[in-house]
Amino acid sequence: MTGLNACITSVAAYVPEHKLTNAMLENMVETTDEWILSRTGIKERRILKEKHLATSDMAAEAVNRLLTKRNIDPKSIDLLICGTVTPDMPFPATANLITAKCALTNAFGFDLGAACSGFLFALETGRRYIESGAYKKVIVVGADTMSSIINYEDRNTCIIFGDGAGAVLLEPTTDKSLGIQDSILRTDGEGAKFLHQKAGGSLNPASQQTIDEDMHYVYQEGKHVFKFAVTEMANVCEEIMKKNQLTNEDLDWLVPHQANLRIIEATRQQVNLDPAKVMINIEKYGNTTAATLPLCLSDWESKLKKGDKLVLTTFGGGFTWGAIYLVWAYS
């Protein structure tokens, strides 16, 4: 132990301009604005329309904003970790492309694949590099271009997902009352069958057959995913709060993965939290997979105060889920 804690010291995000509204989806698949809103809480999502742009471009925009707002020299960044399931290409890692686009010439980088928990798992990884004393400036990115793997003829999935990117800077502090305090992370590969992308990997490399059979799109059995998510995200929040003797009064903010408003509400109810303490922006972005948490932190940054207690929690494909308890380090 070095006596160091890892603190988030800057947050930034980027979402594409183009909005895909529920009304537009009504013209694409058999659905209604009322159904989507009541079953998911989503009104619109952002879509990366420009064909020459990809996940690294959205992420680079978020990272550049992050550096500019704190006037940080790109050369001072040691490491960039990118949580994503929609890399620009299978290799090189999207993190490598981001470091080049942002002139992080002294940083190394790698991607972390944990679907909707990608940012949470990457945050825990970055935290450990900082706590070890090995590195002083680590950028953690959550970025996904879900529109690149969504079948816009499948109403079970196309209504849910959107595109976006967010990034945080992690730096060390010797004040142990600040920064990341605790984490609980979990995976269960038995859940893979309910939510996955069949083709494009070593099991089903791209072929005419994989294209003909729509195997490059997200496959989801929504009901199964919902049942698991609603139980596990709520349980892990309760567990981390109990473990750290945090009451619903103590906690200032719940930052939940934005998959479905009903899952968020069930989690809030289980820990009996005031609705005003829950960050919710699903109505305007949908589920942006690894980007949901940094998009929330960015939207709420101006309201966050030094000393605020936050629980970040996710659930996603894998299955992957977990929670991180942290104390905000700046106002």
Using CB under 6 A as the criterion, which residues of the chain lie in contact with ligand COA when the complex forms?
A: 31, 35-36, 39-40, 116, 155-156, 159, 220, 222-223, 225-226, 229, 259-260, 287, 315-316
Q: Catalytic residue among 82, 102, 116, 158, which?
A: 116
Q: Catalytic residue among 22, 64, 96, 287, which?
A: 287
| Residues 296, 291: Cα–Cα separation, whole Å | 9
**SS3 per residue for the chain:** CCCCEEEEEEEEEECCCCEEEHHHHHCCCCCCHHHHHHHHCCCEEECCCCCCCCHHHHHHHHHHHHHHHCCCCHHHCCEEEEECCCCCCCCCCHHHHHHHHCCCCCCEEEEECCHHHHHHHHHHHHHHHHHCCCCCCEEEEEEEEHHHCCCCCCHHHHCCECEEEEEEEEEEECCCCCEEEEEEEEECHHHHHHEEECCCCCCCCCCHHHHHCCCCCEEECHHHHHHHHHHHHHHHHHHHHHHCCCCCCCCCEEEECCCCHHHHHHHHHHCCCCHHHECCCHHHHCECHHHHHHHHHHHHHHHCCCCCEEEEEEEECCCEEEEEEEECCCC
Known catalytic residue at 204: no
**Closest CB 260 distance from ligand COA, rounded Å:** 4
Known catalytic residue at 151: no
Nearer to ligand COA, 94 or 289 (CB): 289
Q: What amino acid is encoded at 45 in this protein?
A: R
Nearer to ligand COA, 16 or 41 (CB): 41
Known catalytic residue at 257: yes
Q: What amino acid is encoded at 269 in this protein?
A: Q
Select the residue whose beta carbon is closest to ligand COA and give its number.
222
Nearer to ligand COA, 32 or 68 (CB): 32
Q: Catalytic residue among 7, 82, 158, 257, which?
A: 257
Nearer to ligand COA, 155 or 216 (CB): 155
Nearer to ligand COA, 10 or 289 (CB): 289
**Closest CB 12 distance from ligand COA, rounded Å:** 23
Nearer to ligand COA, 35 or 300 (CB): 35
**Closest CB 264 distance from ligand COA, rounded Å:** 10
**Closest CB 289 distance from ligand COA, rounded Å:** 7
**Closest CB 161 distance from ligand COA, rounded Å:** 8
| Residues 250, 273: Cα–Cα separation, whole Å | 10
The residue among 46, 105, 108 whose CA lies nearest residue 82 is 108
**Closest CB 159 distance from ligand COA, rounded Å:** 4
Catalytic residues: 116, 257, 287
